[in-house]
């Protein structure tokens, strides 16, 4: 009996200590904005640093760190390296099997998207694991889509409780233990439910107005990983069903044909976007959409292919990098109660002033209506 009582007391103490630890680092998730110290401009105390390495589990304000984590100032580094940090001064570098986490107060059952900047720092292939308790994704970041360190990704999850542990983890083991992703500017957005379709349009979020957080001060667009990496899409209504991501662009930083956002097909046939809609077999429908360029130096002959049921169309657009667009349409006949609408870019493109930066045509204003 005494042993059982001692065990219960010990168990209560362990649970209480865990609760106190979580409570001490628990933050409230903003509806749409940076996480607390999400840009890492609040650094550790000098006494909790050894060169660039953070010493102490709770030394980085608002975060919990595990393993070899470095606090980086952007610019030239020892050994001839240069780490760009375009959204401020400081960033976090995750070494071998290192992680940072933050406990957030959220709404159970609600969908959230997380936007963050991630850049590889070594020649080896690098992977960044993002997780919210049981939901996680391994994002390969060896391909650079911008040359200024501005590669930004979005990932989404559904909150399974009112408290979620959001983590960023480097699963790699390199010969240099400091090698790993450079992480900066982490924001979260509570995703609103998709509105009901209006005007007979069967496409949901066809104008791409509902999407992840976009940074105001500096944006190269937000990369949306393939669907295989997402349980929940950061672009509601749509599936990224390809090897490469597509890019979510906003009208504050890019040319968009209408509204405040659009999708850039940056990976040629390796980046495709799709949506499955309800249809009636043998019913005819009209698919309409626009393609164009984002007015930032992506030049040349662009071709977007659209597929619906057994029909497809190739739409040509000659880009002069000045923000023009072309309207397109496709009549198709449904062959089942579900029809997949798919778009991809036929060619690969790079920025004319920077051949290392991938780009592509802009897709916007997607609509499907039944024909009488």
* Distance (Å) of CA 232 to CA 183, 213, 235, 240, 359: 22, 15, 9, 11, 25
Is 118 buried (19+), middle (13-18) or exposed (0-12) by CB count in 10 A? buried
Q: Which of 232, 175, 238, 183 is nearest to 205 (CA)?
A: 238
CA dist., res. 308 & res. 6, Å (int): 67
Give the pLDDT confidence of 164-188 residue by residue, as tens digits.
999 999 998 888 898 899 999 999 9
Tell me: pLDDT of 24 over 70. no
Tell me: pLDDT of 220 over 90. no
* Distance (Å) of CA 325 to CA 26, 134, 302, 346: 47, 42, 11, 17
**Overall residue count recorded for the chain in this entry:** 372
CA dist., res. 107 & res. 187, Å (int): 16
For the residues 333-348, what does the mean pLDDT come to?
95
3-class secondary-structure state, position 222: strand
Residue 140 confidence (pLDDT): 84
Q: Which domains does the chain have, with CATH numbers?
A: 24-190 (2.60.120.260), 222-370 (2.60.120.260)
Question: Where residue 241 falls among pLDDT bands split at 50, 70, 90?
Answer: confident
The phi and psi torsions of 269 (rounded to 5 degrees) equal -70, -10
3-class secondary-structure state, position 295: coil
Residue 267 confidence (pLDDT): 86
Q: What is the 3-state secondary structure (H, E, C) of 19-48?
A: HHHHHHCEEECCCEEECCCCCCCCCCCHHH
What is the per-residue DSSP string for 181-203? -EEEEEEEEEPPPPPPP-TT---
The phi and psi torsions of 6 (rounded to 5 degrees) equal -60, -40
**Stretch among 30-44, 136-150, 284-298, 353-367 having the lowest mean pLDDT:** 136-150
Whole-number percent of the chain with pLDDT over 70: 91
Tell me: pLDDT of 2 over 60. no
Which comes out higher in pLDDT, residue 17 or 249?
249
């Amino acid at each position: 009996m005494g042993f059982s009582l001692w065990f219960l007391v010990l168990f209560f103490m362990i649970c209480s200590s865990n609760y106190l630890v979580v409570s001490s680092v628990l933050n409230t998730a903003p509806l749409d904005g940076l996480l607390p110290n999400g840009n890492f401009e609040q650094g550790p105390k000098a006494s909790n640093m050894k060169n660039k390495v953070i010493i102490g589990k709770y030394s980085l304000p608002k975060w919990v760190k595990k393993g070899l984590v470095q606090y980086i100032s952007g610019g030239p580094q020892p050994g001839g390296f240069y780490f760009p940090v375009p959204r401020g001064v400081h960033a976090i570098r995750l070494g071998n099997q290192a992680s940072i986490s933050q406990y957030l107060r959220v709404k159970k059952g609600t969908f959230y998207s997380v936007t963050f900047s991630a850049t590889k720092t070594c020649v080896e292939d690098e992977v960044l694991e993002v997780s919210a308790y049981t939901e996680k994704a391994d994002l390969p970041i060896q391909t650079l889509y911008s040359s200024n360190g501005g590669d930004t990704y979005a990932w989404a999850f559904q909150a399974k409780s009112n408290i979620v542990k959001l983590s960023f983890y480097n699963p790699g083991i390199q010969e240099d233990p400091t090698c790993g992703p450079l992480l900066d500017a982490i924001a979260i957005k509570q995703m609103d439910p998709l509105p009901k379709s209006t005007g007979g349009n069967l496409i949901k979020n066809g104008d791409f107005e509902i999407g992840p957080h976009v940074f105001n001060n500096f944006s190269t667009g937000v990369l949306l990983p393939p669907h295989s990496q997402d349980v929940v899409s950061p672009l509601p209504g749509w599936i990224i069903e390809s090897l490469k991501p597509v890019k979510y662009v906003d009208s504050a930083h890019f040319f968009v044909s209408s509204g405040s956002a659009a999708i850039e097909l940056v990976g040629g046939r390796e980046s495709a976007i799709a949506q499955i809609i309800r249809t009636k077999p043998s019913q005819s429908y009209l698919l309409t959409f626009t393609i164009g360029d984002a007015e930032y130096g992506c030049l040349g002959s662009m071709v977007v292919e659209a597929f619906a049921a057994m029909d497809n169309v190739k739409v040509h657009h000659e880009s002069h990098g000045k923000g023009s667009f072309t309207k397109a349409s496709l009549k198709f006949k449904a062959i089942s109660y579900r029809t997949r609408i798919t778009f991809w870019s036929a060619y690969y493109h790079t920025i004319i002033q920077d051949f290392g930066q991938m780009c592509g045509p802009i897709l916007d204003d997607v609509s499907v209506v039944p024909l009488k």
